[in-house]
A and B are shown apart, each in its own frame.
Chain A
């Protein structure tokens, strides 16, 4: 794994707790969590996109990588995954400059941030539902 220098995205909060709270209030049925519904979609749709993103960076298909990074950035922001979204935004910027090494380092950060996000949202749900 390539090590990346600390970037502004490292300092961004993992989750937007206020947004998660607002989203949960949209549920018609108090026993059903809106965040859970959205998180299930996010956890299901993100890994294949991350795999495609890694392939695109590896194969230097930077136009495809740019589109995927943009898509992931928006999707993460919608579920309050702030840091994950910030890393995707960072990758978008780096792709525009096309230094492959830097892209791969950010890609590792993105993958690691996704795992952290998954854990944190799951924790958030277990605390919220108590």
Chain B
């Protein structure tokens, strides 16, 4: 992923190179420019931008809006700002429905670029901070469904993410099995067999990232998250 500190950048999807140049200079950040959706799509797996600027009307009758849902899913906390030359553009409504955060009208005005970028970035970073849960040396990113710890990171299934989030929020207290089922599957009735299968997968993922955070079964009561802290007894000081 190319988003190292000091190497941050934004993406501009626009067939007009002037737009990318103005955005780059306005934000004093590098702008990777793509004229077509095809060229952009092939690079998505390897990049991690601070924000994406998408022109609605692209060359060859392509619409930048077609890619917005994919970008939203991939980068939930990177602002997606659409660009259009028409103030009365009906496409704007569609853009917001598809996950865009804001819009810019052509001509692109540098101060407006700065203001919208900063506002949206701050807002989404606040949301990102709220979606991160921590237990000992393990952290769970609920938006990306990633659990990480000193030994690495693992992607979780949606149900596994919900189960772990509930256990972390319970802060070591025992959560009844039925409560966990309700939180993770909603109103759907789930067999114990399916529940324990998911639990097995979640335990395996946790083992892959940390040795100090474990899911404990409390017979007849439910489950809890056991966080072992390394407390060194200071006996010599007594």
Question: A-side interface residues toward B, CB under 8 Å?
Answer: 16, 19, 22-23, 26-28, 34, 37-38, 41-42, 45, 63, 67, 70-71, 73-75, 77-80
Residues of B within 8 Å of A16, CB to CB, are 107
Residues of A within 8 Å of B129, CB to CB, are none
For chain B, residues 16 to 38, give those with C-beta under 8 angstroms from any C-beta of chain A. Answer: 16-19, 21-22, 25-26, 28
**How far, in angstroms, from A42 to B26 measured CA to CA in the complex?**
18
**How far, in angstroms, from A37 to B110 measured CA to CA in the complex?**
15
Chain A's closest residue to B83 (CB) is: A74
**How far, in angstroms, from A117 to B101 measured CA to CA in the complex?**
35
**How far, in angstroms, from A63 to B108 measured CA to CA in the complex?**
25
Do the beta carbons of A78 and B16 come within 8 Å of each other? yes
**How far, in angstroms, from A22 to B85 measured CA to CA in the complex?**
19
Indicate which residue in B22, B106, B109 contacts A38 across the interface (CB closer than 8 Å): B22
Do the beta carbons of B107 and A19 come within 8 Å of each other? yes
Question: B-side interface residues toward A, CB under 8 Å?
Answer: 15-19, 21-22, 25-26, 28, 55, 57, 59, 61, 85, 106-111
Do the beta carbons of B18 and A79 come within 8 Å of each other? yes
Do the beta carbons of A71 and B106 come within 8 Å of each other? no
Residues of B within 8 Å of A63, CB to CB, are 61
Indicate which residue in B15, B28, B109 contacts A22 across the interface (CB closer than 8 Å): B109
Do the beta carbons of B109 and A74 come within 8 Å of each other? no
**How far, in angstroms, from A77 to B107 measured CA to CA in the complex?**
5
**How far, in angstroms, from A70 to B15 measured CA to CA in the complex?**
12
Closest 6 CB pairs of A and B: A77-B107, A26-B25, A74-B85, A74-B106, A75-B16, A78-B107
CB distance from B84 to the nearest CB of A (A): 8
Residues of B within 8 Å of A79, CB to CB, are 18, 107
Task: Name 7 interchain pairs, CB-CB below 8 A, sorted by A.
Answer: A38-B21, A41-B18, A67-B59, A70-B57, A71-B16, A71-B59, A80-B107
Do the beta carbons of A78 and B22 come within 8 Å of each other? yes
**How far, in angstroms, from A28 to B26 measured CA to CA in the complex?**
10
Residues of B within 8 Å of A26, CB to CB, are 22, 25-26, 110
Residues of A within 8 Å of B85, CB to CB, are 70, 73-74, 77
Chain B's closest residue to A73 (CB) is: B85
Do the beta carbons of A23 and B59 come within 8 Å of each other? no
Q: What 8 new A-B contacts, CB under 8 Å, besides A19-B107, A26-B22?
A: A28-B28, A41-B18, A45-B18, A67-B61, A71-B59, A74-B16, A74-B85, A80-B107
Residues of B within 8 Å of A34, CB to CB, are 25
Residues of B within 8 Å of A67, CB to CB, are 57, 59, 61
Residues of A within 8 Å of B28, CB to CB, are 28
Do the beta carbons of A37 and B57 come within 8 Å of each other? no
Given known A-B contacts A71-B57, A77-B85, A78-B108, A23 and B22 have beta carbons under 8 A apart: yes
Chain B's closest residue to A75 (CB) is: B16
